[in-house]
Structure 1
Amino acid sequence: MSVNKIVLQIVFSIVLIGICSKNLIAQSELTHPKLRYYLSEDKSSYAGFVMINQVWTRVIQNNPDMNGVYEASDFDVGIRRSRLIFYTSLLDKVYIFTQMGSDGLTFNNSEKPQFSLYNAHTEFFLKKDILHVGFGLHTWNGISRYNNSSATKRLVIDNPAFTYPVAGIWDRFGRQLGIYAKGTVAKLNYRMSVAKPFLTGTDLANDNSTTARANDNMAYKGYFSWQFFDKESQSHAITMNNLGKAKMFNIGAGFYYHPEAMFSRTEAENLEVADIFLFSTDLFVDLPFKNGGAMTSYLGYFNYDFGKDYIRSAGRMNVSMADKGMAIPQGIGNSEWEVGTGSILRGEFGYLLPNKMMNSQIQPFSAITYKDFEALDEASTQFDIGVNILQMGHNIKWTFQGSSRPIYNLVAGQNVITDTKWQFIMQAQIFF
């Protein structure tokens, strides 16, 4: 696909949004529907549901093949998420949460759309706000703020894939089966979990490389944050983009530990059993300004240890039809090196403009990611830049984002960056 065609498709998409926006904005009396139903007069018992749809329209500059031949770009429309959530709270003592739906539907899916169970957990309020204990399939995770955040209240279009370092191997969509405890004591918010990881991508044998090892050990994880100003909700996932609705300055730290979960290659090229140990520290700031604007920012440091030279690539909703047998090591389409033994630095910044345009809030943003993996001979720096158009807060939101992707190849025996590709996404998000 030529550059001119890519530009025309992006312009056409923006014009289409403008037409749709006028119809939505004309309904200026729109208010948030009440999808919660109270079961008691004192409102201590209630039931409700949430519907989420996130649709992506993309232009993807694909990875070249192993001979350096460039693949044609892809243009597609896909379902990033379609979810239905049911929740019930009884007498401020028990909370039940269930989430179902489908992710990642594209024209190039090899299977029929899958209807999956994402969450199913029951939570007991042992001491309100201070100690809640829950059981089941859940997302009360460790490592970082990303892993405990809402899928609908983000600054960038989606959490970066490296924030789910065991996805597809030890967890399902960032979830594991386990027992968790969470609460807030003074200004300290905590969540801890003991989980039984899935065995989706593990192996009983080995191929003389660092790889996941089938085992039945428990995993231990936690995330702790000190909230200097306003406190966050205990009932729901935390936000990565609060739109200045509260004064937030939080410092956090988290970990994930899964003993004997890897076959690790040693310096002597032997294999030994090794642990997974991952940790992060991060800072989140969301501040309203007197002029009606707001600033949102995030800074996180991640240190991952899966064993010597472990590395794994991923391509979110990859639609490329290229020959996998001719692929470069990081893969076809939009695949990139996402997770590995090493360190990652991630920063995000957004500014909510004080004045509305066509009854919409405008929020430009940018992000930068620095990855330094043992298995690669050169570290990479990636960029995201975009804008959120919020017609009804996060409930009706359009996001435009461009993201860079480094291309690695072997040059004189060194695994180094030889090119950069881009992916452009327009997301339409509606949830109530």
Structure 2
Amino acid sequence: MRKIKILLFSIFMLSFQFSFSQGSPDYKGGFKIKFNDDGSKYLRVISWGQFQAVYNDDVPDNTSNLSFNVRRARVLLLSQITKKFLLVTHFGLNGLNSANLHPVGKGDGNQIFMHGIWGQWNLNDNHTVGGGLHYWNGISRLNNQSTLNGLTLDNNRQSWATIGLSDQFARHLGFFVKGKFNNFKYQLAINDAIVNGLDMRNPENGGAAVYGGKRILGSKDAGFAYAGYFEYNFLDQESNTLPYKVGTYLGTKKVFNIGAGFFSHPKGAVVANSSGKMEGENVSILAVDAYYDAPLNDDGSAISAYATYQSNDYGKNYMYSAYGTGSMLYAHVGYLFSGDVKKARYQPYMSYGTNSYDAIDDNRNVFGLGANMFLSGHNSKFTLEYKNQKFGDNNSTGTVTLQAMIYL
């Protein structure tokens, strides 16, 4: 383990010596094809890839501790003919590795799928309605997190609180409304919950809840889920044209926001009483959070900080994968060192999350320590992160990940 950590750290430090120019003078907002002089009719293409080398100290004896994978490969298209409406199309794949590769590329694990496809109609300059397979989620900032500009290597897993349970990879099929009143921003959605989610268990008599309300009880009783997130921007205003929340602005903005959100799925969970009768239980998730991101001096140094508390009610003693009825407290903080924007810049960070569950006495505690190296802002960066997870009496699990990302 120690030798692998030293090797990965050496690779990371060596890359510092061969840094490319910072600033991306040719980027200027990405690949945008304008169809008129004022740019109101356009097609914008955003593409990105994240490539990882991962060392895991908790694997079976016959399995290598080191693996390589494509964490994400995505394409996002923004299409607009008039400022009155916008079409967003998002497709790609996730987690491509040697276990799910296929000899001729036909396996389930390596297939591109639709992450999102929705239309937005602007009622006026400040308020919008839309519908489709969308990412206008509720609960918290991290439940709406972009994967392009995060502070940490990846999003806090438990903050994507409904992924695969009521949605398709954190995207719901439904309608939304979003907008702002001066510094106050809001987004609300009504969604048609997924029928066949990840939790395909059936309830046991007198046992814990199962997240399968629509599958077991039917769409009449458990068809729809409701979500919302509200925030107040005290300092610089953040854009809400798209739902993807920025993780760190690298000192280009001075932002302080507080927020609160919810997710409600009536009868989304199911329990079986002592006689075996199926009964629906409401799923209710609530959160409050705060985000601060600001330059510290004129030398380019900056701080990024975030904290959230989340109350999770998935039904009686619910436990499945990373999710369970209980509560979560999570925070992270990062410091961007001063430096020339035309050269590589460095940003160490740390994160900590603790999750409690009604079903058991033990907590899940996750600690992360890492650093970003920006070759061209978020458009080209390397991230090295150590993450340690301890769950109850189980041995702690440590992973070291080196990730390279290009975003255009």
Q: TM-score scaled to structure 1, two decimals?
A: 0.84
Q: Secondary structure at the match of 2:148?
A: coil
1:268 offset after TM fit, Å? 11
Question: Residue 193 in 1 paired to residue 195 in 2?
Answer: no
Match of 2:55 among 44, 52, 59: 59
- 1:277 aligns with 284
Q: How many percent of aligned residue pairs carry the same amino acid?
A: 27
Q: 1:155 to 1:264 in 2, by over 3 A?
A: same
In structure 2, the partner of 1:365 is 349
1:148 aligns with 2:155: no
State how 1:71-220 maps to structure 2 within 5 Å.
Answer: 74-109=65-100, 111-112=107-108, 113-128=110-125, 130-201=126-197, 203=200, 205-208=202-205, 209-213=208-212, 214=215, 215-216=218-219, 217-220=223-226
Q: Is there any run of 5+ residues in structure 1 with no aligned partner, and where?
A: 65-69, 314-337, 408-415
CA-to-partner distance for each residue in 1:26-65, whole Å, 9 max, x for gaps?
Answer: x88753165112222222222110111011110011167x
Q: 1:265 to 1:305 in 2, by over 3 A?
A: farther
For the pair 1:404 / 2:403, whether they are aligned, the reply is no
Other-structure match for 2:309: 301
Asked whether the equivalents of residues 356 and 362 of structure 1 are also in contact (C-alpha less than 8 Å), the reply is no
| Distance across 1 between alignment mates of 2:348 and 2:230 | 29
Indicate conservation of the 8 Å contact 2:49/2:74, yes or no.
yes
Q: CA separation in 1, counterparts of 2:159 and 2:285?
A: 11
- Cα distance, 1:206 vs structure 2: 2.9
Aligned partner of 2:230 among 219, 224, 239: 224
Q: Read off the aligned partner of 2:65 and give its amino acid letter.
A: D
Task: After superposition, give the CA deviation of every residue in 1:318-354 in whole Å (9 maximum; x if it has no partner).
Answer: xxxxxxxxxxxxxxxxxxxx21000000001001111
- The structure-2 alpha-carbon separation of the partners of 1:137 and 1:93, relative to structure 1 and needing over 3 Å to count, comes to same
2: CA distance, partners of 1:268 / 1:362:
60
Say if 1:342 and 1:63 are closer, same or farther in 2 by CA, change over 3 A.
farther
Return the alpha-carbon distance in structure 1 between the equivalents of residues 372 and 341 of structure 2: 12
RMSD of equivalent CA atoms: 2.4
For 2:121 and 2:37, locate their aligned partners in 1 and report how far apart those are by CA, in whole Å: 21
Structure-1 residue corresponding to 2:104: none
C-alpha separation between the residues in 2 aligned to 1:370 and 1:342? 11
CA distance in 2, matches of 1:87, 1:266: 49
Q: Distance in 2 between matches of 1:392 and 1:151?
A: 16
2:405 matched residue in structure 1: 429
Contact 1:63 1:421 in 2 (8 A): no
Q: Greater CA deviation, 234-243 or 207-216? A: 207-216
Report the CA distance between 1:392 and its aligned residue.
Answer: 0.8
Please give the secondary structure, in 2, of the residue aligned with 1:17: helix
SS of the equivalent of 2:88 reads strand
Structure 2 distance, partners of 1:254, 1:85, is: 26
Deviation, 1:254, is 0.5
User: 1:265–1:351: structure 2 CA closer, same or farther, 3 Å change rule?
Assistant: farther
AA of the residue aligned to 1:424: V
Distance 1:419 1:205, change over 3 A: closer
1:10 lines up with 2:8 in the alignment: yes
Cα shift at 1:150: 1.4
Does 1:311 pair with 2:287? Answer: no
Corresponding residue number in structure 1 for 2:26: 31
Matched AA of 2:93? S
* Residue 391 of structure 2 corresponds to residue 394 of structure 1: no
Structure 1, 201-210 or 223-232: larger mean CA deviation: 201-210
1:101-125 deviation line (CA, Å, top 9, x unaligned): 1111011127351110111011001
- Equivalent AA in structure 2 for residue 393 of structure 1: G
- Is the 2:204–2:272 Cα contact (8 Å) retained in structure 1? no
What is the letter of the counterpart of residue 427 of structure 1? Q
Q: Provide the C-alpha distance between the structure 2 equivalents of 1:377 and 1:282, rounded to a whole number of angstroms.
A: 26
Shift of 1:397: 0.8
Partner of 2:251: 244
Q: Is the 8 A contact 1:265 1:307 kept in 2?
A: no
Partner amino acid, structure 1, of 2:269: M
| Pairwise CA distance, 1:306 | 0.8
The structural deviation recorded for 1:9 is 4.0
- Name the SS for the 1:211 alignment partner: coil
**What is the aligned partner in structure 2 of residue 334 from structure 1?**
none
Q: In structure 2, what is the Cα distance between the partners aligned to 1:18 and 1:120?
A: 39
TM-score (norm 2): 0.89
1:288 aligns with: 295
Name the SS of the counterpart of 1:212 in structure 2. coil
Change (3 A) 1:271 1:379: farther
Partner of 1:76, secondary structure, is strand
